Structure 1
Amino acid sequence: MADDFHKPTLFGGREFEAFPGSFVDPAVSRRIAHDTARGLVARVRDSDDPEVLDRVVRFTDEHGLDAVAELWAMSGPNTLPGALWRIYLLRTMIRQDPDGVALLFQRGTETLVTIDPVIAGAPSPAGPEEVLELSDRILRGVFDGDLAHALERASAFCRVEASGAASIADDQEGAAPERSTELTTRAARLTTVAEELAVCARLARDDALE
């Protein structure tokens, strides 16, 4: 994977298709991505108005994921704009299919032997409402909490989802091979995003996430 222009296509739906950038000069595009990411985080953290945070969290609900993609999708995975892009992707995934996400998450909590379910922060059992709430809490944490902790939670969430997807894929391999393949692909992509967010979390801990 190219670090400079890694743009994940996570889950095979219209919400996770590649969004072409509108800037011809990659250097200009990268600079704008970094400036807008830093500026947005700083503005929310410096604001005393809770509505500012609410508007940022709801931004893709009102304007669509492509609005965020235009800013950050072409950024490297181990950058602040790249991390924000992945967090918004995950929130969109959860909001568009909370039942399916909850099913995978619950299976993941049953198959993983790590503390990732605890780090992710969802209750067990976690239904659609719980994973929806979790997606909002993770995104809010990026802007008004501990950035590294929010990224660690998102990374853990991806690992739980990946484990659940892989487990259900194994169950369906004989009866529904196409569905099994789709879930296996999803598990692999979620694992990649989990690793990328984990790197971002470590960088954020060191104040080195730019």
Structure 2
Amino acid sequence: MTARHPRPVRRPAEQLDQLLPATDPAETSRIAHATASALLARVRQDPTDAVVERLVSFTGEHGIDTIAELWSHAPARTLPGALWRLYLLQLMIHEDPASAALLYERGRVAGLSPDVVVAGVPAPAAPEELVTLIDTILRGLFRGDLAIALERAAAFCRVQAAGAVAIADDHDPTEPERASALTTKALRLSTYAHDLATCAWLWRRDALT
């Protein structure tokens, strides 16, 4: 079972309630899947309907935070589950860009992740590039290959996990608590990577719902 991930502070949701009201957990789950599908309607080449346009307009004006809350309880290997993990990655980089860049660079230099050495693996996006990629997806404006985008995000997580492990090793003799925290973070990033890579595999088979 995938571990529950920390959630950001909730934002007021009155406007979202007016846009897509939910009254029970089953309805919330339905809306979570519906909003995730709507944001990717252009990728799926579905007709652009009024719901998609309202949702894109809402995210453009108010941000994705409230809608992302709907995805937070979705299973990891579903479309809303994948978008929730992308959202968390974006949030992680925004909240501490220096640490994100340090982990990425250390993982890249250490070469502990196969993503920096194995030919054919989608190149991991750097922190700034990943934020741009995720932002495009979450705003409903992405038109590329979602499987590749998910694989690049997974590769980013694996490189960051490798960086966290390398830095944890450095600190283990003198700062065991910090080393433990970094090891925990590496495990969480590795879990994200596995979930996102699986979602990419499912998307290619038209089985990510």
TM-score band w.r.t. shorter chain: 0.7 to 0.9
SS at match of 1:175: coil
For 2:46 and 2:23, the matched residues in 1 are separated by: 33
Identity %: 49
* Runs of 5+ consecutive residues of structure 1 not aligned to the other structure: 10-15, 123-129
Q: CA deviation at 1:197?
A: 0.5
After superposition, what is the alpha-carbon deviation per residue over 1:169-188, rounded to whole angstroms, capped at 9, x for unaligned?
A: 11101221221111111001
Aligned residue for 1:110?
A: 109
After superposition, what is the alpha-carbon deviation per residue over 1:102-138, rounded to whole angstroms, capped at 9, x for unaligned?
A: 110111112235541463444xxxxxxx522332125
User: 1:120/1:138 Cα in 2 relative to 1: closer, same or farther (>3 Å)?
Assistant: farther
Aligned residue for 1:132?
A: 128
For 1:97 and 1:61, the matched residues in 2 are separated by: 24
The answer to whether structure 1 residue 42 and structure 2 residue 41 are counterparts is yes
The answer to whether structure 1 residue 188 and structure 2 residue 187 are counterparts is yes
Letter aligned with residue 181 of structure 2: E
Count, aligned residues: 188
Aligned residue for 2:5?
A: 8
Please give the residue correspondences for 1:189-208 in structure 2 after superposition, counting only pairs within 5 Å: 189-208=188-207
Letter aligned with residue 107 of structure 1: R
After superposition, what is the alpha-carbon deviation per residue over 1:23-57, rounded to whole angstroms, capped at 9, x for unaligned?
A: 67332221111111111211586799xxx9xx96x
For 1:120 and 1:133, the matched residues in 2 are separated by: 11
Please give the residue correspondences for 1:81-96 in structure 2 after superposition, counting only pairs within 5 Å: 81-96=80-95
Letter aligned with residue 119 of structure 1: P
Aligned residue for 1:154?
A: 153
Contact map agreement 2:39 2:137 (CA 8 A) in 1: no
* Runs of 5+ consecutive residues of structure 2 not aligned to the other structure: 11-16
- Output the aligned Cα RMSD: 3.4
After superposition, what is the alpha-carbon deviation per residue over 1:150-170, rounded to whole angstroms, capped at 9, x for unaligned?
A: 000011110000010011011
Aligned residue for 1:119?
A: 122
User: 1:33/1:196 Cα in 2 relative to 1: closer, same or farther (>3 Å)?
Assistant: same
Letter aligned with residue 182 of structure 2: L
SS at match of 2:206: coil
TM-score (norm 2): 0.75
For 2:175 and 2:62, the matched residues in 1 are separated by: 36
SS at match of 2:122: helix
Aligned residue for 1:13?
A: none
After superposition, what is the alpha-carbon deviation per residue over 1:79-116, rounded to whole angstroms, capped at 9, x for unaligned?
A: 11110111111011112211111110111112235541
Q: CA deviation at 1:68?
A: 3.3
Q: CA deviation at 1:207?
A: 1.1
For 1:171 and 1:97, the matched residues in 2 are separated by: 21
Contact map agreement 1:95 1:132 (CA 8 A) in 2: no
The answer to whether structure 1 residue 74 and structure 2 residue 70 are counterparts is no
- Judge which range, 24-33 or 92-101, deviates more: 24-33
For 1:185 and 1:61, the matched residues in 2 are separated by: 36
For 2:67 and 2:60, the matched residues in 1 are separated by: 7
The answer to whether structure 1 residue 179 and structure 2 residue 178 are counterparts is yes
Letter aligned with residue 40 of structure 1: L
Letter aligned with residue 135 of structure 1: V
Give the number of the structure whose alpha-carbon radius of gyration is greater. 2
For 2:60 and 2:180, the matched residues in 1 are separated by: 29
TM-score (norm 1): 0.75
